[in-house]
């Protein structure tokens, strides 16, 4: 559905997107992940036919974004970061406008279906200016899916709305993923982890990693972590006790206890417990810590 | 065509949903009503009713009120971010510009039609020169289209509606002043050229006196075409920024 190869965008001398390649299959939800200014929006704008790439190719629904721009635009539903609205139109009028502009055949039916999907049916007569931020966000979603496009591109769809609405929007994205290919950007990692089948991490315009969240975690985990909490020993003492265990790479205080970084593939729980107790220190807690995508992400950013 | 029609429909709807357009209509009818009343009073004894009264007034008033009608067209789309969405809709950029321009021109035509009321009053109480009036109205209709096209171009240049209106008024003022400049410049050839370039030069001595000339119509249509072409390029340039 989406095939991106060496996509590049220059703004003057500034390189906003630098040879990014990824793809998304039909019915896949792909998260574009990266800090602010990483090039997420620029990448999306090229995929929606808004701006042409400087170099590289991108195909959406089989159409090239440069040579078949109109066909690409017909196949894409797009929600920019700041939901663009016409404040003086009614909810129904606004959605109908976009439906007509995109050549929808049964406008009334499609508009009703889209409003139903984002639960705005009871507000169809309201003026857009009177909608709250969360409802506006849903309006934007309705606009993006009213022409039933095979590909839906959402730029930071959960930014600036309250937690309840964030959950609703995520649910909607998951539902959309059943029938559409969804590409959405976020800088919230837990969100990508929850919603996406696959994430593409970009930083300073370059792609630094991609894969399923679980796979990424496995691949990139540069070491397992153990959390240990004891009574009757300070940091120096703990270091002294655990020092002989060569597989421990670092010991850092964390909360009431310590975080131990262990070489990948080693299970040191038994050894750690044994040494701690042998030293006559009370062991209160000892557990492995799974690295979240968040940690991995920070790790990658640091390494780059 | 679908794009032109859809954008056109939205723009016309938008005029009726916004207070500015009603205010402009109100002001226009109030001023033209007063003018008509004054002219009618003189026409009782002194002179025949002026057939090009309203079009003549508009030829000056358009300098100010055409930009007020068009300042919103593109500036607002840019500020609200809807231009980005419009440019990702499966319609050519020209369709967006044409649709908007036609919407504004249509609304202006409606305003113009409102002033027909004075012609009907004249018809009821006297024998006005209808041919002369039709010529003047046709002229000011084309004149209005050209003024709106100029106004829309400046709306495309900025996100700020006030700036758009101000720039539009300034540009139209120059186009209008060309007529006066043509009268005071000593060099006759230069004066002729200046006058031919001005909006008034193709209205006040032709359409307004009941004279229909192809060259004047071509001038207004030409202005519209050039302005729309530049506006389309301006809209398109957003893809390259």
Encode chain A (304 residues) as per-residue pLDDT tens digits: 889 999 999 888 888 888 899 988 888 999 988 888 888 899 999 999 999 999 999 999 989 998 999 999 999 999 998 899 998 899 999 999 999 999 898 999 999 999 998 889 999 899 999 998 888 999 999 999 999 999 999 998 888 888 888 888 888 888 888 889 999 898 877 788 888 888 888 888 888 888 888 777 766 665 677 888 888 778 888 888 888 887 787 888 888 888 888 877 677 788 888 888 888 888 888 887 766 666 667 766 666 6
Mutation site, B83, B88, B239, interface A, largest A CB count within 10 A: B88
Residues of B in contact with A103 (CB under 8 A): 2, 90
Nearest alpha carbon to residue A276 among A242, A246, A244, A249: A242
Residue A19 phi/psi, 5-degree rounding, is 45, 60
Considering only CB atoms, which residues of chain B are within 8 Å of chain A?
2-3, 6-7, 9-10, 13-14, 17-18, 80-92, 239-241
Question: Helix, strand, or coil here: A131?
Answer: coil
- Cβ contacts (< 8 Å) between A102 and chain B: which residues? 89-90
Q: Is residue A4 within a helix (H) or strand (E), and if so which, with residue range?
A: strand A2-11
Q: How many residues does chain A have?
A: 304
A300 touches chain B (CB under 8 A): no
Could you tell me the CA-to-CA distances from A170 to A159, A217, B225 in Å, in that order? 12, 21, 48
Please name which of B164, B234, B9 lies closest in space to residue B102, comparing C-alpha atoms: B9
The stretch B115-140 carries a mean pLDDT of: 90
Contact call for A85 and B82, based on CB within 8 A: yes
Do A70 and A50 meet the contact criterion of CB atoms below 8 Å apart?
no
Cα–Cα distances in angstroms (integers) from residue A293 to residues A187, A214, A242, A297, B151, in the given order: 12, 9, 28, 6, 53
pTM: 0.85
How many Cα atoms occupy the beta-carbon half-sphere of A224 within 13 Å?
A: 14
A59 and A46 Cβ atoms separated by less than 8 Å: no
B99 CB neighbours in chain A (<8 A) are none
**CA–CA gap between residue B151 and residue B166 (Å, rounded):** 9
Residues in B closer than 8 angstroms to A52, CB to CB, are 239-240
Q: A299: closest CA among A212, A238, A225?
A: A225
CB contact under 8 A, B10 and A97: yes
Minimum CA–CA partner of A90 in chain B:
B17
Residues B203, B216 contacting (CB under 8 angstroms)? yes
Closest by Cα among A189, A272, A188 to A224:
A272
CA distance A227 to A232: 16
Q: Name A229's Cβ contacts closer than 8 Å, sequence gap at least 6.
A: A255, A256, A257, A258, A283, A284, A285, A286
Per CB-CB distance under 8 Å, the chain B contacts of A51 are 239-240
Q: Dihedrals φ, ψ of A257, to 5°?
A: -125, -145
Percent of chain B past pLDDT 90, that is, above it, reads: 62
If you measure CA to CA, which chain A residue comes closest to B73?
A86
User: H or E stretch including A221?
Assistant: none
Q: Would you place residue B8 in the very low, low, confident or very high pLDDT band (cuts 50, 70, 90)? A: very high
User: Rounded CA gap, A239 and B152, in Å?
Assistant: 73
Residues of B in contact with A88 (CB under 8 A): 14, 17-18
A39 burial type by CB count under 10 A (0-12 exposed, 13-18 middle, 19+ buried): buried
Which of A 10-29 lie inside 8 A of B, CB atoms?
A: 11
CA distance A130 to chain B (A): 15
Nearest CA in chain A to B235: A50
* Contacts (Cβ under 8 Å, ≥6 apart) of A219: A209, A211
CA angle centred on A260, ends A254 and A262, rounded to 5°: 155
The pairing of beta strand A248-254 with beta strand A257-262:
antiparallel
Q: Provide the 8-state DSSP code for B202.
A: G
- Mutating which of A101, A140, A154 best tests the B interface, going by the most B Cβ atoms within 10 A? A101
Pairing status of strand A248-254 against strand A151-155: unpaired
Question: Does residue B160 carry a pLDDT above 80?
Answer: yes
Contact yes or no for B80 and A85 at CB 8 A: yes
Distance from C-alpha of A11 to C-alpha of A54, rounded to nearest angstrom: 9
């Amino acid at each position: 559905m989406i095939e991106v190869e060496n996509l590049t965008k220059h703004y003057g001398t500034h390189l906003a997107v630098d040879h990014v390649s990824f793809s998304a299959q039909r019915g896949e939800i792909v998260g574009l992940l990266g800090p602010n200014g990483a090039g997420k929006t620029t990448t999306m704008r090229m995929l929606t036919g808004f701006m042409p790439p400087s170099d590289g190719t991108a195909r959406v629904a089989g159409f090239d974004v440069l040579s078949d721009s109109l066909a690409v635009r017909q196949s894409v539903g797009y929600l920019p970061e700041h939901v663009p609205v016409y404040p003086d139109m009614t909810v129904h009028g606004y959605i109908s406008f976009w439906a007509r502009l995109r050549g929808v055949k049964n406008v009334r039916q499609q508009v009703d279906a889209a409003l139903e999907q984002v639960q705005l049916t009871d507000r169809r007569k309201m003026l857009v200016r009177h909608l709250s931020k969360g409802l506006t966000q849903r309006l934007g979603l309705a606009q993006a899916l009213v022409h039933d496009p095979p590909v839906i591109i959402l730029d930071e769809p959960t930014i600036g709305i309250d937690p309840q609405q964030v959950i609703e929007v995520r649910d909607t994205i998951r539902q959309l993923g059943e029938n559409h290919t969804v590409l959405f950007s976020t800088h919230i990692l837990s969100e990508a982890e929850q919603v996406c089948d696959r994430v593409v991490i970009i930083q300073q315009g370059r792609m630094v990693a991609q894969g399923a969240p679980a796979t990424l975690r496995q691949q990139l985990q540069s070491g397992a972590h153990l959390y240990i909490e004891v009574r009757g020993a300070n940091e120096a003492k703990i270091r002294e006790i655990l020092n002989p265990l060569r597989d421990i790479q670092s010991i850092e205080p964390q909360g009431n206890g310590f975080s131990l970084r262990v070489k990948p593939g080693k299970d040191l729980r038994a050894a750690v417990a044994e040494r701690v107790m042998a030293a006559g220190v009370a062991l209160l807690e000892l557990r492995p810590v799974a690295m979240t995508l968040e940690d991995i992400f920070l790790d990658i950013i640091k390494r780059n | 065509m679908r794009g032109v029609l859809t954008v056109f429909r939205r723009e016309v709807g938008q005029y009726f949903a916004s207070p500015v357009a009603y205010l402009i209509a109100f002001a226009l009818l109030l001023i033209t009503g007063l003018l008509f009343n004054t002219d009618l009073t003189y026409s009782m004894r002194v002179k025949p009713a002026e057939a090009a009264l309203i079009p003549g007034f508009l030829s000056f008033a358009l300098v100010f009120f055409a930009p007020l009608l068009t300042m919103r067209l593109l500036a607002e789309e840019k500020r609200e971010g809807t231009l980005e969405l419009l440019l990702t809709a499966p319609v050519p950029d020209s369709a967006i510009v044409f649709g908007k321009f036609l919407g504004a021109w249509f609304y202006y035509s409606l305003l113009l039609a409102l002033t027909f009321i004075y012609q009907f009053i004249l018809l009821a109480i006297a024998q006005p020169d209808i041919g002369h009036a039709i010529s003047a109205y046709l002229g000011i209709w084309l004149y209005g289209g050209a003024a709106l096209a100029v106004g829309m171009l400046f709306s495309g240049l900025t996100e700020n509606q006030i700036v758009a209106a101000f720039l539009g008024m300034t540009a139209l003022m120059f186009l209008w002043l060309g007529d006066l400049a043509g009268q005071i410049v000593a060099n006759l050839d230069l004066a002729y050229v200046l006058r031919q370039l001005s909006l008034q030069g193709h209205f006040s001595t032709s359409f307004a006196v009941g004279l229909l000339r192809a060259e004047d119509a071509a001038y207004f249509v030409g202005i519209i075409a050039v302005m729309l072409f530049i506006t389309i390029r301006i809209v398109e340039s957003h893809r390259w920024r």
